[in-house]
Amino acid sequence: MISFDSSQLLVWISYYFWPFVRILALIASAPVFNEKQVPSRIKIGIALLTTFLIAPLIPLNDTPVFSIAAIWVLLQQLMIGIMMGLMLQLAFVAIRVAGEIIGLQMGLSFATFFDPSGGPNMPVLARFLNVLAILLFLTFHGHLWLFSMLVDSFTILPISEGQLSRMGILALLKAASTMFIYGLMFSLPLVAILLLLNISMGILNRMTPQLSVFVVGFPLSLFMGIYMLGNLLPYVNRFFESLFGEFFLHLQTMLDALILI
């Protein structure tokens, strides 16, 4: 008959509990997995399954779950998981920023609806690009790359009572500036064309004041924006692949900068 005492039970709990905290924090904050359409039971189930697969591969941590030191280790694992998920969220925020800029130039900034994944109102064009980015993220096996880096994070940042370096937070802030750069890069071709169109409409209005710019300019800007966006879509996969690759590199840099001290 196999028997367990309380000390053995606590060792087994700590063996699986600490990886579970980091994995659940990552799933709760990472793109695709944090969508509100994904039930909480599915998220917890994925975290549990991943924990049982990963736990035998990582170094054992002997910090008792019911101790003062466990509070710091718990906060540390939550921070690591949330920062990893937030880093990849910046890539999707860049795409939504590009959609908002393009929609503003096209005159679609008023076309907003309730976003079930984010909560607040989002322009329809930004939501369209966000859904397209999610599909391409899964097509590029981004979720598999994310779990691969999650496994590597337990080697780079083992579960311990050490302190995290502040340079990791600085790396996250630097990646946030890249978010705006990529958002402007994606929207720049359409914004430039629509700007030239608005300048042409302004010159035309000065030459023929009888022509109402508001009557002609709005449908023309909308038509040109949709037409150019349709011509741009065949090249979107290359841009998104480069964008996701760049932020995975930022994620690796952040993990290296967060090394325990």
Domain ranges of the chain: 6-257
- Residue found under tokens 């590009």: 98
Q: What is the pTM of this model?
A: 0.82
Token readout for 156 is 């780079």
Give residue-wise pLDDT tens across range 58-100. 877 777 777 777 788 888 889 999 999 999 999 998 998 888 8
Q: Coil, strand, or helix at residue 164?
A: strand
What residues in the chain have per-residue pLDDT under 50? Answer: 1
Give residue-wise pLDDT tens across range 120-154. 667 778 888 888 899 999 999 888 899 989 888 88
CA 247 – CA 3 distance, rounded (Å)? 48
> What H or E segment, with its residue span, contains residue 162?
none
DSSP alpha helix (H) spans, the chain: 6-29, 40-54, 68-106, 124-139, 142-156, 167-207, 213-232, 236-257
